[in-house]
Each structure stands twice: as structure tokens, then as C-alpha cells.
Structure 1
Amino acid sequence: MSDRKTLFRNVKRLVVKLGTRVITVRDNALNAERIEGIADDVAALRGRGVEAAVVTSGAIGAGMGRLGLSARPKAIPELQAAAAVGQSLLMNAYKLAFRRRDLTVGQILLTADDLRDRARYVNARNTLEALFRFNAVPIVNENDSVAVDELLDIRVGDNDTLSAYVANLVRADLLVLFSDVDGLYSGDPRRDSDARLIPVVDRITPDLLALAGGSGSDVGVGGMRTKLRAAQIVTTAGGMMVIADGASVSLLDLLDGQETGTVFLPRPGRLTDRKRWIAFAPARKGAVVVDDGAARAIGQDGKSLLPSGIVEVRGTFDAGEIIDVRRGQETVARGLARYSSDEVEKIRGLKSSQIAPALGHPGDDEVIHRDDMVVL
């Protein structure tokens, strides 16, 4: 299905992510013209009955500009200070732009803990839904002024992943990543004159991930890997994603069918809210490795994971935590463990009738019940 207008005709809610290089110009000043353009698009979409949330980068960059910093700070307190200054500048720019179009904005600052903890996840979702009911536009960013873990691992495009989480939180039909790259290419267009834009991706394969290179690559390539990660999150949940040039493409033209950038098609079916959280909550603490029979029962037959199919336990986790299910190095599913890692180690490879004697007390037949598991 390559007709973009047909593909997007039923979009009723979208998330748009604006990269730092889209909303800042020289010396890290905010690109007021682009922010005004986004406000125009969101207002016009509202008139069509389409809701939009904005995930914005640029807080650290804007703060650097206001503080007169020519190079990105390396110390965590200085990075957080730049983020604190820049966040207020960002929100003021969005507030003024949207107010000129009679729209109210609401600021949402998230950390990994808000996405990892189920209660906080639900609270964030409810807050975003309330903003939509009040006809306000959510403006979302990572809370870089307090989130030390995130700052220690900042890479180009890490707000790509945040925007995918937000798309899942609000059950968006479409995620649009506006960036300084205009899509996914068959090679690095800066080095390969034969590299071609890939207009449609229906499945993210290992070969496709290899095109993006590693996270240690330079700006364009490193950023593409996080964009593909975002695409995995969104499309697995049943949504669509587009990577497009943030300097020249408008949301209106995109939804009206402009053939630009790369569109990632959804997997069949849509995950429930709870299974979206299970599938993509960050920072899982452990994993179990299963044999081919268990992997087949989970992936093809929709069965629960039993101890008999587990051959190895990796990491440390408690009962009730989300863990990966792997076949070798491949993650085939994720789910809520009914046992701790120590308990799984005692019962792995055993039949159901052997669980109680091994543990010294009665226990569940399943290590992960199918209702608590998402096949990837």
C-alpha cells in the first residue's frame, strides 16, 4: 500500500517529534519560524478533527545558546543546568506560537522511571488524555534537568525513542519524526552516490538495522539507529511511522499524501495498553533463554512459557518484573515473570509436576503466562 493519502486517511491522532537541528539554528538559537509552522499545522489538523502531541528536542541546545556555551558541557550538573534554562525557553516559544492560534499547550516532562513503573506509566497516559480532552496540545520532553541516567547515555536522536513511547501512551495512529535526514537510505548518501531513499518499510529486519550502523557512528548514521528503534516500538504496537525532512515538509502535506521520506507500516493487529507497556518498558533487568520448542510454542501457537522450555537464566529479576525471552541472542518475546531469577534457576527444564518439590512450596505452572506476554 504505497498511496500515502489512503494510508493516512484514518489518522485521528498523531505525535510529531522535532529534532534539535529542526528547531534550532546557528549558535543554538531557537528556530521561531519552524515552531510557528508546526503551530500552523497542528491548528489546521485540529480543524480536521486530528489531535497532535509534540515531542521536542532542543532544551540543552537552547540553554547552551542562552548561557553562551560554544561546546556541549561534559559534566552532568552543567548539562542539567543547560537543560533547565533551555526548557523554559522552549516552552515559552511554543506557548506564544500556539496562543496566536488560540491553542493552549501543556508541558509534560518524562523520565525513564515514568515509563518503567506501571503506576507512573498509567498516570502519564491519563494526564496526556486529559490534555486532549481539554483541547490542549501536549508538549513533551525528557526531563533532562533531573534525569541523570538519561544524560549519562545521551546519543543523537534519543528523543526518537521517547516519541515512540509517547505514541504508545496516547494510542497514536501515526508518529512523524522530523529530522535533518529525509528518510532511510539503502546506504550512507554522504558517502555512497548510489544510495537510494527507501520509501516504504513493511518489516524491520536485521539487515535493515545494519544499514543504520552502530550508535557510535557519526551524526546521521547514529541517529538513524534510534529512529529504527522507534519504528520497531510503534509498528509492533500497530501504529505507523514516518521519517521526513523537518526543514521542508509540513504535517498537512504529509497527511494529504505527499510522497516524501520513509513510511513504516504497522504489524497486523493493535496491542492493548497493558501489552504496549510490557513490550517496551525500558531497562529490563533480566532474561530467560528458551529452546526451539518453547520459542515455537510461544511465537506460533500462542502458548505460555513453561519451565521445561527454559535452558538458561540471565541477569537478576524479581517476580512481577518484565523480562526478555530469548532464543540464543534473539529476543522473541517479553513478559511479566511469575518467579524471581533465583526461583527460575531452580525450576528451569522441569515439568510442572516437579515445580513444587524443587521450590519447597506450590507454584504456578507458567513462568510467564500468555496473557502477560508479547511476542515480538
Structure 2
Amino acid sequence: MSITRLSDLADKAACPRLVVKVGSSLLVGPEGVRRSWLGELVEELAAARARGQDVIVVSSGAIALGAARLGLEKGGRGSLADAQAAAAVGQIALSSLWAEFFGTQGYPAAQLLLTLEDLEDRRRYLNATATLTRLLDAGAVPVINENDSVATQEIRFGDNDRLAARVAQAARASAVLLLSDVDGLYDRDPRDPAARLLPLVEGVTPEIHAMASGTSGSGMGSGGMTSKLQAAQIAELAGISLAIINGTYATPIARALATGTGTLFLPRRKAAARKAWLGGRLRLKGTLRVDPGAEAALTRGSSLLAKGIVGVEGSFERGDPVAIAGAEGRIVAHGLAEYDSRECARIMGHHTSAHADLLGYAPRSAVVHRDQLVLK
């Protein structure tokens, strides 16, 4: 059974494993932790567990909690050092909150702090998968946050929407539920009286991206609708549905599912596990720019040959992940390079028959083989 509507997120058969993302502005208000709201949300998640669904929580809020306790300006986001210090204090408070509230429902909470590298590196990604699986099998509720106390601008996710999607991939979840401060995706700025809520989206296209805003309305988080659409793209590679609902209400999940108020993104395809991991990577080592002919061949399932490459950007080694960009600069695929950047620059535009003379050794079958490539 597959997910076809918002209410299916409460169906064990359609959605046996659910990842729920909670943002900072929902968890922490001007007066501190919204304990009443959090208690009702945990009751909803406990009800999901009771009906046989696995639940994983991706929770923001550590920086906001720590900044309040340390008295830091700008919510702890005035500098990277402030954010890291606030997170170090706030992570203790955040994990204690979730442990307390899930404990009252009879479920142990488990904390996992992740950095981008934990899910970008294939071996560490598989280790995270194993840990999540064991925790769920043991009856715990994993509560995950980005490890802001050690993450830097170069390695951090930057928002927990995409983190939630990557966690869902690693956990082999059925769906991701993003609790936001709006009802879902609108066809234009939701402040426009003519704006229309989109209840169902089948695949995130450039037209869908054009409807989004990249700013966070609350000022507390670091995401926005753009990051939510990027999360939907990451999820769909693994055949995972993603929903956006308004989390500002009491019992937000029950309200959204009962009224059908929200936006449900259905995946158009499902890549194999390794390709889903590759396609969801947020940090790449370089870019290969290709001509229209090569771009068309990629969409038909072909490997990337040097003949179709018109530019090489960045410094990368053989086996590193790279982006493949079309003539207009749009990223059309991710892949693992069979040559380093210097070799790619040497053979680009040349037919395979010339590679041996250019490189001094027998060429490989492709610059990026189709088995190590996933379309975006």
C-alpha cells in the first residue's frame, strides 16, 4: 500500500515509518519552551507508536534554548562561535525535554547528533542506518539534531528540513512530515489574497521551485520554503513522500490529517539505495559542464563520456562525487567521477579513441558511468 493522501500518514500499512521535523519557532516561543504544545505533539507521536508506526523526530531548538540560558544576542546566531556555544548548552536542554515528554508516554527517547559528513560519507551513512534501525527495533524514539556545537559553515546542513530528508533516506522511512508555520506550499506568496494552497505535488519541478520563498518567516530557523522543496527532492529519490503542515496549532498532526490541510509531495520515482544516497548529497567536489547532446543522452540512461564535456570546475579525485550541469547551468545529475579533475580537463571534448594518447594509459569506459550516476 502506498501513500496517496495526507491522511495516509496515520496509516500503519501505508506509512510504517515516519520522520517528523519540528522547527525552532514551534518549540520555543518568546516566553520559552511551549510545554503545552510539545506535550500534545508528543501525545500524537505516542499514538502513532501505539498503532504500530515507527517514529523518528528531527528537532531544532538547541541554539534557541542555549542562547536564552546564556543570554546571547540575536538568538545565539550573531556569530558561528555564539551558535556553537549556544548549541552546546541547548543540546542538553533539548534532549532532556524530549526524554521527559516521551517518558511520560512510556517511550525512551534516544539522542543522535549528526553533522553533514556523517551522512555524506557512505560508510558513516550506513552506520547511522544501523543505529537508527537498532533503536527502533528496541522500542526507542530517536531524536536527531544537527551537531551545531562542532559543525562549521562548510560542513553543516544549515537547516533541519534537508537533514530530515537525509535521515529518512538512511532510516528507510515511508514519509517525512515537516511542521511549519504555514499550511503548506502556495502557488505564490501566501500573503497574497489570491494565493492558493497546493494539496498535492507530484515531483518537484522548476515551476514548483519558482513558487517558493527562500526566507524563514519566523526569523528563528535557517530554512524556508526553498529548503523544504530541496528536502522533498532528496526524499523523492528514495521513493519517500514528504508533507508540509502548519505546526502552530494544538495537536497539529491530527488537525492537518483530519482536514486535509497541507501539501503532500509524492515521489515520481525511486532510485536504488546507493543512488538515492548519491543524489541526496549536499556537498560535491566539482562540476562537469556538458553540451546539449550529452545532457540528452544522460536523460536516456547513458553514461557521461568525455566527448560531451565542455568544462571542468573544482578540484576532485577519482571516486569523488561531482555535479553534472547542462548548457544553461542547471544541475542535471550527480555522479562519481572515474577520473580526477586534471584528467577530465585533459580529455574533455575528445573521443574515447584519443584518450590513451592524452593520458598515457588505457581509458576507462566513461567519465561517469551510468551505474554511478543519478539524475536530478
Question: Common fold, TM-score beyond 0.5?
Answer: yes
Superposed, 1:141-290 pairs within 5 Å as: 141-149=145-153, 154=158, 158-190=159-191, 192-215=192-215, 219=219, 223-248=224-249, 250=251, 253=254, 258-268=259-269, 270-290=270-290
Displacement after TM superposition at 1:254 (Å)? 6.9
- Go from structure 1 to structure 2 and tell me whether the alpha carbon gap of 1:185 and 1:6 turns closer, same or farther (over 3 Å shift): same
Residue 25 of structure 2 contacts residue 218 of structure 2 at CA under 8 Å; is this kept in 1?
no
Identity %: 41
Q: Partner of 2:366: helix, strand, or coil?
A: coil
Displacement after TM superposition at 1:6 (Å)? 5.3
| Distance (Å, rounded) in 2 between the aligned partners of 1:60 and 1:216 | 16
The one-letter code of the counterpart of 1:15 is V
The one-letter code of the counterpart of 1:181 is V
- Go from structure 1 to structure 2 and tell me whether the alpha carbon gap of 1:164 and 1:150 turns closer, same or farther (over 3 Å shift): farther
Q: Partner of 1:106: helix, strand, or coil?
A: strand
2:6 counterpart of 1:4: yes
What residue in structure 2 maps to residue 107 of structure 1? 111
State the aligned residue count: 369
Structure 1, unpaired ranges of 5+: none
What residue in structure 2 maps to residue 304 of structure 1? 303
Residue 144 of structure 1 contacts residue 151 of structure 1 at CA under 8 Å; is this kept in 2?
no
- Go from structure 1 to structure 2 and tell me whether the alpha carbon gap of 1:238 and 1:368 turns closer, same or farther (over 3 Å shift): same
- Go from structure 1 to structure 2 and tell me whether the alpha carbon gap of 1:49 and 1:308 turns closer, same or farther (over 3 Å shift): same
| Distance (Å, rounded) in 1 between the aligned partners of 2:246 and 2:350 | 54
What residue in structure 2 maps to residue 42 of structure 1? 45
Q: Partner of 1:71: helix, strand, or coil?
A: helix
Displacement after TM superposition at 1:217 (Å)? 8.4
Residue 245 of structure 2 contacts residue 256 of structure 2 at CA under 8 Å; is this kept in 1?
no
| Distance (Å, rounded) in 1 between the aligned partners of 2:344 and 2:296 | 20
Residue 17 of structure 2 contacts residue 54 of structure 2 at CA under 8 Å; is this kept in 1?
yes
Displacement after TM superposition at 1:118 (Å)? 1.5
What residue in structure 1 maps to residue 316 of structure 2? 317
2:70 counterpart of 1:71: no
| Distance (Å, rounded) in 1 between the aligned partners of 2:345 and 2:44 | 54
Residue 182 of structure 1 contacts residue 245 of structure 1 at CA under 8 Å; is this kept in 2?
yes
Displacement after TM superposition at 1:241 (Å)? 0.8
| Distance (Å, rounded) in 1 between the aligned partners of 2:154 and 2:251 | 30
What TM-score comes out, normalization by structure 1 length?
A: 0.91
Displacement after TM superposition at 1:257 (Å)? 5.4
| Distance (Å, rounded) in 2 between the aligned partners of 1:107 and 1:281 | 23
| Distance (Å, rounded) in 2 between the aligned partners of 1:358 and 1:307 | 12
Q: Partner of 2:264: helix, strand, or coil?
A: strand
Displacement after TM superposition at 1:117 (Å)? 1.4
Residue 8 of structure 1 contacts residue 255 of structure 1 at CA under 8 Å; is this kept in 2?
no
| Distance (Å, rounded) in 2 between the aligned partners of 1:218 and 1:23 | 12
Q: Partner of 1:357: helix, strand, or coil?
A: helix
The one-letter code of the counterpart of 1:40 is E
Structure 2, unpaired ranges of 5+: none
| Distance (Å, rounded) in 1 between the aligned partners of 2:360 and 2:86 | 55
Residue 160 of structure 1 contacts residue 226 of structure 1 at CA under 8 Å; is this kept in 2?
yes
Instruction: Give the aligned CA root-mean-square deviation in angstroms.
Output: 2.4
Displacement after TM superposition at 1:280 (Å)? 1.5
| Distance (Å, rounded) in 2 between the aligned partners of 1:85 and 1:321 | 36
The partner residue of 2:86 within 82, 86, 90 is: 82
Displacement after TM superposition at 1:340 (Å)? 0.5
Displacement after TM superposition at 1:275 (Å)? 1.1
Displacement after TM superposition at 1:253 (Å)? 2.8
